[in-house]
Every structure is written in C-alpha cells, then in structure tokens.
Amino acid sequence: MEPFQSVNAWRLPNWAVGLEVHSQTASDVSAGVRGTRDFYPEEMRLRNWLFEHFHAAARSHGFEEYDSPVLESEELYTRKAGEEITAQLYNFEDKGGRRVTLRPEMTPSLARMVMAKSGALPTPIKWYSIPQCWRYERTQRGRGREHYQWNVDIWGLHGVEADAELLSVLVHFFEAVGLKSDDLVIRVSNRKVLEEVLGALGIEGETFSKTCIVIDKMDKLPPEAIEQQLADLGHGHDSIDRIRKVLGMKDLDDLSIELDSDSQAVRELRDLFALCESYGITSWLAFDASVVRGLAYYTGSVFEAHDRDNELRAICGGGRYDRLLSTLGGKDLPATGFGFGDMVIMELLSVKGLIPHLPSGNEDIVIPLDKALRPAAMAVASRLRASGRSVDLVLDDKRMKWAFRHAERTGAQRLVMVMPEEWQAGKVRIKNLETGEESDFDAESL
C-alpha cells in the first residue's frame, strides 16, 4: 500500500466532502433517499479500512463485538428531556400496528441487551459495535441522515478507571490512523460539575437533565435563545450567571475554588486526569467545563473530541450513564461509553492528508492471449486461487494493453499470461508488476 495521498489527490464524492449525499425529489428513484450514501467500491475500501481501525483499537483493549437490529421499538427512545435525538426519529407503524423506529443511536439497544440478561452477564461487560444509525437531521458537513457509529462501552464499573480506559481506546485509534494531538483535542468534563452548581440552587432531577440539553446547544443557538430556554426551565438571573461562569472554566484549580472543597466532581476529574497521565495520553485531553453532552442519560464523566481548528462538528462523544437501566424499568448498572461517527473523522483525515490510497486487493490478473486458451486460463486461475491468491481472471476478449492498464488501476502485483507456445510447453508467463521482471513458470507448480 502506498503511504498517504494528499487531500487534492483524493476527494471523496460522498463521504469526506460529506455534502454530496443523495438529494432527490420523490419521483427520482435513480438517486437514493435524501441524506443517505452509496458506497462505491473505492469508498467501500476506505470504509473497511476505517472500520478495521475501529475493530483493532477496541480489540487491543479487550472489547468484544456485539450487534442488534436496526429496527427498534419507538418506546426505547421516549424520553422527556427534549433531546434533539428523539425529535429526529425515523419512526413509523409497522404492518402489525407496532410503533417502531430505525435506531438513532446504539446505547438504548445495548441497555436493552444488558437488561435482558440481567445478572447473567459477567462484569465488567466490555463490548463494541459499529451500527448504522439513522437520524432525521439537517444534512450538513459531517452530518447525514444515516451514519455508522463505532460504539465502545463498559458496564459494571463505577470508577473513573473505566472512563480512562475508553479515552485510551480513542487515542489508540487516533494514533493508528496517523493523527496527532496537535490535530484534535478530547474535551473532558463531568456532569457532576453542573449538578453541584445547580444542586446548590435547589435544581435537580428532570430540570437538571433538561438544563444540560439546553446548555449543549449553546454554541449552536444565539445567547438570547439559550437564556430564554433556561428561563423557561425556571432559572433566574443568578442561576444563569452562575451556570455561565462555571461553564467558562478550563482549569481544574479554578473549578475547585468555585465548587465545594470536597466536590466529587473535582475529585473525579482529578482522578481521571491522573490515570490518563499513566496512559501517557494527557496531551490529547483538556478539561473544559462547557462539555455537558446533549443526551439526558449522562451522569458523570463526559467527553467530546473536536478538531483543534474547530471547523468541524464533534468527532465523537460519550460519557458515563449509570442510571439508564432504571429509566427503562430495570435495575441500574453503572456504564460508560462513547459513540464515534464515520463522517467527521473522514473529513478530518481528508483535511490532514491522511486518507490512504487503497488498492483493490487483487494480487494476480490472469489473461489468456486468445479465446482458445480460456479453459487453460481458468485452470491456472483455479490453481492460484486454491493456493490462496486473489485472482482476477479476464473473462472476455481483452488485449494485453488493457490488462496492463487494469493491473495498474487495481494495484495488482502480477500479470499471469497464458500464451499459446508457452502453454504447449506446460508453462505460463508471469510479469512481476512491481519489479518489471518477467519469466516463465511451470503451470503445474503454480
């Protein structure tokens, strides 16, 4: 494989650019559904490359893969906190009259799976998955109506050790694809920061989760709109001022002055950063109190990765959600995890010139020189395939010139030529396309 091509040499029509996703009118069936993507083989090779890095980072940290259906009960997502995600469901009634939806995220499905085996699964549960998720969103750079979302979660551990391990998975992945800590930052905070601030003002429970959802929209909505929404939740001027002050903090020492001396939020954050020091990953991290995340279920550590230039949407996000199971009618089990979409990371890799040029993976091209030699070429291809080579056999009348161009285009290593005289002598001619060397080989010994 060649190293990396520059961004100009590799512009992805539907993916890295992100905007040229389908945008059809209802009658235009030649285009797919708006906001969805086709993956042509070139893009599919890249997707597989990306996913292979997702698999490798998770496996290197001892996670096992799981999966679940893309179709779920709508009920699984009926939450009251006013999250965007529940307003974006691809939901409908099936032919049996059940309310169902395409999953917008994986966490509730995972919770359902854990709950279904309550108590029977040995903890900690360390699982990962790469589901396709569906959200009826406004399509924009890095956001589509479907995306693949790498999910890595740990269930059954209370401590920030689990959160630190997840951050290590992330950094392992970033390094493996060639990114550096100068390229992006994982901003880390803890929901308990805001919980303590609001708790002191007597704001708890549902109002707390709803406040987090509003705060998460701070960089997307004008300040007046945010203020209005906070006021609608019952926050007075004092409360809003205090929220603003604390959210602006980027230093743990400042935070510890602002919160109680025995603040659990500060303790957890300090512990988490200390553990990350041992992993050697602190250059990738920054404390940022403004990270609260836009989903209601988070209860502790929260984090989001962003490009340092702040030009793209969040690369990934996650956090601790210790009380999700009880909201689904089960017995709580501590949990923490993250979701990592395929779209923004491809944007970032593209901007950084880190998109690899991937050949098709065919090793040999077998070509008969004339029609009469086709059966011989088939026998040769079969022999090579049986020995484990991936072989593209030329099935129609093609000239040698075409075969050379085809080999170049697909990155094949060898051209295997079945020629009349050589075949008579039990031989085939093989050209090594890397070195240019050409020699005859015994067909029997291939």
The contact set with ligand HAM (CB under 6 A) reads: 105, 107, 135, 137, 143-144, 147, 149, 151, 153, 295, 314-318, 337-341, 343-344
In the complex, minimum distance from the CB of residue 414 to ligand HAM, in angstroms, rounded to a whole number: 40
In the complex, minimum distance from the CB of residue 137 to ligand HAM, in angstroms, rounded to a whole number: 4
In the complex, minimum distance from the CB of residue 106 to ligand HAM, in angstroms, rounded to a whole number: 6
In the complex, minimum distance from the CB of residue 275 to ligand HAM, in angstroms, rounded to a whole number: 19
In the complex, minimum distance from the CB of residue 110 to ligand HAM, in angstroms, rounded to a whole number: 7
Q: Which residue is nearest to ligand HAM (CB)?
A: 341
Whichever of 177 and 446 has its CB closer to ligand HAM, that residue is 177
In the complex, minimum distance from the CB of residue 139 to ligand HAM, in angstroms, rounded to a whole number: 8
Whichever of 295 and 376 has its CB closer to ligand HAM, that residue is 295
For residue 376, CA distances in Å to 203, 366, 423, 443 come to 80, 10, 8, 10
Say how far apart CA 148 and CA 343 lie, in whole Å.
8
Whichever of 133 and 365 has its CB closer to ligand HAM, that residue is 133
Whichever of 314 and 366 has its CB closer to ligand HAM, that residue is 314
Whichever of 86 and 211 has its CB closer to ligand HAM, that residue is 86
In the complex, minimum distance from the CB of residue 131 to ligand HAM, in angstroms, rounded to a whole number: 10
In the complex, minimum distance from the CB of residue 138 to ligand HAM, in angstroms, rounded to a whole number: 9
Say how far apart CA 169 and CA 67 lie, in whole Å.
19
Whichever of 229 and 299 has its CB closer to ligand HAM, that residue is 299
In the complex, minimum distance from the CB of residue 11 to ligand HAM, in angstroms, rounded to a whole number: 19
Whichever of 10 and 148 has its CB closer to ligand HAM, that residue is 148
Whichever of 74 and 137 has its CB closer to ligand HAM, that residue is 137
Residues 6 or more apart whose CB falls under 8 angstroms from that of 328 comprise 76, 108, 111, 112, 115
Residue 376 near residue 417 (C-beta atoms within 8 A) = no
